[in-house]
Copies of this chain bind each other. A is one copy, B any other.
Amino acid sequence: MSQQLIFTNDVALQLDYLITQGDKKPTFVIADTNTAALVLPSLTSECKSLSDARLITINAGDTNKTLDSLAQVWKELSDNGATRSSLIINIGGGMVTDLGAFAASTFKRGVRFINVPTTLLGAVDASVGGKTGINFNGLKNEIGVFREAESVIISSCFFGTLPLDELKSGYAEMLKHGFLTSATEVNSLIERNIAEIGSELMLQLLERSVKVKQDIVEIDPTEKGLRRALNLGHTAGHAFESNAMASGQPIPHGFAVAHGLIIALILSHMRLGFETSWLYKTAHWVETNYPKLHFTCDDYPTLLDYMAHDKKNKRPDQISFTLLSAPGEIHCGQIVGHNDITAALDIYRDLMHI
């Protein structure tokens, strides 16, 4: 069963249609404290069937994507008569859709759910691919399942109130999709000013970007082969993200991906002759648009350890990267030794002036 992707800027209308289809069933909305305060009031005022649903609120922020929040959602579903025919609507950023989708996938062994991403990152990254889960034991998405939503409503209408940093975070994933596609796509994204993209154009860019991911996921739903392409920038990116979190100064996921992308491009040059002009151009763009990372060579062992724990690795002693020989020319499962990664981190620090 493949999920239905609905691109629209009239979310209330779509939701109402999806909720009222078929038999009446107990309906639940999962949102975080931010979404519940900022997004739900106007949505429920326009959508009667949504206002009739029972709201489950979890604390906002990736630090709350935990087993405790999950158990709270399970308990509220259980206490409030959720059945196998219930419908769960996850409204929020990637944290809410990941955790809410995992709760829905495991409650009574699986109930139907709809995702409504409210951030650019959630729309471009978390809306396709069926990745659900929570952080556990200090590791991101350590626990979860692959399960797609029944429908995903993708809209840019929520982005107007997003901080610019949130937009930039999602945009990094769009750039990753660009690199997986072609030189033209990369250029069209790098040459734009993120802050000035209007709502309708953003919805069009989103549709193109989501399509890239959808094509890859359809070929490889459980990440055995080609889907690892989507890991571009994420092996180092996750390490940067975990390291920042451990140091008490968490950074948005997309920021980590933007920097991780540079590491991937450096390794792509070292291993596959990827052209340096692309590398320099992208490094400059990232340096201009995203805050600097702060680490020294003393942090290398920690970063390497995080990379070794990446769940895409077949063995803990083999660190696997997705690399490129050119934009759109993808090489998955490239095993890179610690020395090369260390060299890439050195080059990265030179390029980014840290």
Contact = CB atoms under 8 A, between A and B. Distances in A.
Contacts of A110: 145-146, 222
B83 A311 contact: yes
Contacts of A75: 136-137
> Which of A74, A109, A132, A137 is packed against the most chain B CB atoms within 10 Å?
A109
A107 interface: yes
Given A78-B137, A137-B74, A107 B314 contact: no
A204 interface: no
Interface residues of A, number: 38
A4 interface: no
Contacts of A78: 136-137, 139, 142
Contact of A83 (B84, B145, B313): B313
Interface in A75-128: 75, 78-79, 81, 83-85, 105-110
Given A79-B137, A84-B314, A315-B85, A107 B142 contact: yes
Interface string A308-345: 00011111100000000000000000000000000000
Contacts of A81: 316
A143 B75 CA distance: 10
Contacts of A223: 109
Nearest to A109: B144
Contacts of A141: 109
Given A311-B84, A314-B83, A109 B146 contact: yes
A176 interface: no
